Structure 1
Amino acid sequence: MNNSKTWVSLQLGEVCKLRGGVAFKPALQGRNQGEFPFIKVSDFNLSGNEVSINGANNWVDAADSSIIQGQPFPAGATVFAKIGEALKHNRKRFLTRPTYIDNNLMAAVAKLDVMLPEFLFQLFRTIDIAASDVGTAVPYVKASTLEKIAVVIPPIEIQRRIASILGAYDDLIEVNRRRIAVLEEMARRLFEEWFVHFRFPGHQTVGIEDISSDLLPAGWELETLGTLADIQWGDTSTTKKSYTPNGYRAYSASGPDGFMPKFDYDRLGIVLSAIGAQCGKTWLARGQWSCIKNTMRFWARASGVGTEYLYLALSDPKRWPKRGAAQPFISLGDARKIKIIQPDKNTSTRFEVYVAPMLELADTLSLQNDSLVVSRDLLLPRLISGQLSVAQAARELEAA
């Protein structure tokens, strides 16, 4: 336990200023460079923005301030959704540079005499913003409501040490995320080199044939996914309501986002988001896992190509035929009819030898990140509330 005499009880409005964003004029949207990012809720989903905002889809310049009718929020502010379905996700992001935010977002700026920006961000991670919803038909929160939330704040030096420990977890997670991205990019580049540009080992001595109006290297074929893979729906009777705090990794149409007390598969496979916003996105699943409603699962049959090959061949969501407008979906019949190049056995085997270790390492790093997230999230409320000493938390970080 930290020394409770040095911690003070305050209201959130006493340690930070809360303010909503501004309307993003259509005339300013669409620029991919500029002096300031202008972020929307969707920018939270960009790769590299999992914790802090490091990129954006839209940028503006200082000369646009008169049109925007607002000022950018400073680096160190914590941003979160204030309205709509995004509010329920309770996601927070840390600004790394002065940034404009649109009117679906709100930002908290630390009052530096009592609060470090880095500690404020960690504090907000423990606050359920959605619980302060005052909306009826459309959920939303007001700054005046959030300002009244009771918080317990340690001295600045303890804030710094707590933020450093929790930030170290975030740094480790980010390093692993970047390594995963590099490994997956290496695998994709190798796939493109061999099976898109046909520059595989020994290609100089292999002729080109016309296979079903497609020019392919001699000995290669064009097959359907249904021929090359065992593909079926995920467990259509199971939803996220069955998720447990821990257990075996479970995949929904949003990806690996939960755990189940049991597993359905103990093997390498691929999970496809078959319905909804991420329709067509795939994930490589390894070990013991399950996939629930609105997904498909598939893996390579005993002969032909490997599962890693299928994963890379179908990793682009555009490869999947979609139906529906408001709610896109993929039918099992359409999925089975997708045409895939089947290289000769020797080339396929050599490719798996190169690529399998890359993707296995990427998955190992992903599992490490899962463990780091669990450890960080267990530490977070105990550290922020003073229930766990900084010294004990530092020892747990060393063991992570």
Structure 2
Amino acid sequence: MGEVTTLGTLADEGVLELGDGYRTKRTELGDEGFRILRVADMEDWAVHADGPDHVREEYRRAIGPKLSEPGDVLLSTKGTVGRVAIYPEGLEQVVYSPQMCYFRVRPGNGLHPRYLAYWFKSSAFGRQRSDRSASTDMAPYISLRDLRSIELSLPPLRTQRAIAEVLGALDDKIAANERAIAAGRSLAKAEFEQFSRSVGSERMSLSDLAARGSLAFGDGYRTKKSELAESGYAIVRAADVKGAKLTFPDGGNCVSTDYASRIGAKTIQPGDLVMTTKGTVGRVAVVPSQVDLAVYSPQCCYFRVEDASGLDWGYFAGWFLSDDPQRQIEPLMHKSDMAPYVNLKDVGSVSIPVPDIATQQEIGAVQRQLLGQAHALVNENAALAYTRDQLLPLLMSGRISVNSINGGSPE
């Protein structure tokens, strides 16, 4: 399709800058400063700058170019290798972790940054990545040295731009929907807090709600190595709960369906509310109406309304997505050498205001409507992403042209 070069050559020629993340020392951490962006804060085409760890601003000079810039192309290189995103405008400046690499394209040098991002999802890159990927006892990875040796064929800039515009139009619509989803969630949160302040009511702990049969909650399934299989129940981990959404893993280990009876209630069900309880504690999501076969990991806790006569689902969801649970969870967190966490007893001690059921239903009806609108946009985004992912390999390989998509003759 064009001139063959390598990422290393492009860097040496000044077309782009590439590097890995900053290796933060424990003494450099602080409560404020530059937030550390880890692979868990990144999914394909989306970045969530909400992690808990910061490098103090006094270390800006030491961090150097490993601070984010809008338009940086990001590639996860350790753990889940191959996630791709573009750092967006308007997001706070963060420091990249060593689990990812950044590619900073310099303008006017024949490389379109969005084209490069899409190329990282092509089979041409995927094959080379697989050939070069290594593995440790901890996780698979690809080194910066190996990335520099990756070859790519660059078509003319006008072709790069045309491909980026076609695929980018789909991503721009997805981004617009994401903004609408975020605005809807902010409205839902404001509506709930306004209602709850106006009615006032006694509070009940989640354990007490469970004891009276209104609510069920529990942690995830502790999978044994012997129970793993190539297909079956996908394992949803804390990293799959981001931006108030639940993403289902694509590939990786599953729990065999032979163990369905052992898994029991820990299977994911439509309408569940989910909270992360280890690592980045307190991320929340609502499970949509259409779900894959999946099971919660021990890093997550699920909540399930059991008796609608005592607890309205919409009301509970509105409270769950408000700031109140997070405020109560934060002082309960325990620290370990590995990661902060809360246990099931801590979760059960969290309390919720419980007005009469008629009031709950009034508040809950508004929450249901707003959540329904958000889920409709989530479904639309899934369809848009599917279209993009089908077009991407065809365009990048040259099997179809932009002209043929726009109604012209295939090249």
TM-score by length of 2: 0.68
1:225 aligns with 2:218: no
1:258 aligns with 2:248: yes
Instruction: State which drifts further: 127-136 or 295-304.
Output: 127-136
Select which of 388, 395, 399 maps to 1:376.
Answer: 388
Distance 2:348 2:69 in 1: 51
Change (3 A) 1:150 1:137: same
1:93 aligns with 2:75: no
Answer whether contact 2:39 2:80 (CA < 8 A) is retained.
no
Select which of 282, 289, 295 maps to 2:284.
Answer: 282
Match of 1:118 in 2: 114
> What amino acid is aligned across from residue 19 of structure 2 in structure 1?
R
Match of 2:183 in 1: 182
TM-score by length of 1: 0.70
Match of 1:306 in 2: 312
CA RMSD in angstroms comes to 4.5
Q: CA deviation at 1:357?
A: 0.5
Change (3 A) 1:297 1:311: same
Distance 2:175 2:334 in 1: 36
Q: Report the structure number with the largest CA radius of gyration.
A: 1
Select which of 329, 345, 360 maps to 2:372.
Answer: 360
Aligned to 1:258, the other structure's residue is in SS state: coil
Distance 2:326 2:121 in 1: 32
1:107 aligns with 2:107: no
Distance 2:346 2:28 in 1: 40
Change (3 A) 1:312 1:176: same
> After superposition, what is the alpha-carbon deviation per residue over 1:86-133, rounded to whole angstroms, capped at 9, x for unaligned?
453433332457978557243324464332122112212333557634
Instruction: State which drifts further: 19-28 or 363-372.
Output: 19-28
Change (3 A) 1:39 1:332: closer
Distance 1:272 1:51 in 2: 19
Distance 1:182 1:284 in 2: 16
Answer whether contact 2:66 2:95 (CA < 8 A) is retained.
no
Aligned to 2:296, the other structure's residue is in SS state: coil
Change (3 A) 1:234 1:11: same
Q: CA deviation at 1:359?
A: 0.9
> After superposition, what is the alpha-carbon deviation per residue over 1:237-292, rounded to whole angstroms, capped at 9, x for unaligned?
69995668xxx99854433332799997775332344x532454332223243540
Q: CA deviation at 1:375?
A: 2.3
> What amino acid is aligned across from residue 391 of structure 1 in structure 2?
N
Change (3 A) 1:193 1:102: closer
> What amino acid is aligned across from residue 271 of structure 1 in structure 2?
V
Q: How do 1:321-336 and structure 2 match up within 5 A?
A: 325=336, 326=338, 335-336=347-348
Unpaired runs of 5+ in structure 2? Answer: 261-266
Change (3 A) 1:52 1:354: closer
Distance 2:174 2:247 in 1: 16
Answer whether contact 1:90 1:130 (CA < 8 A) is retained.
no
> What amino acid is aligned across from residue 378 of structure 1 in structure 2?
Q
Match of 1:132 in 2: 132
Answer whether contact 2:68 2:94 (CA < 8 A) is retained.
yes
> What amino acid is aligned across from residue 229 of structure 1 in structure 2?
L
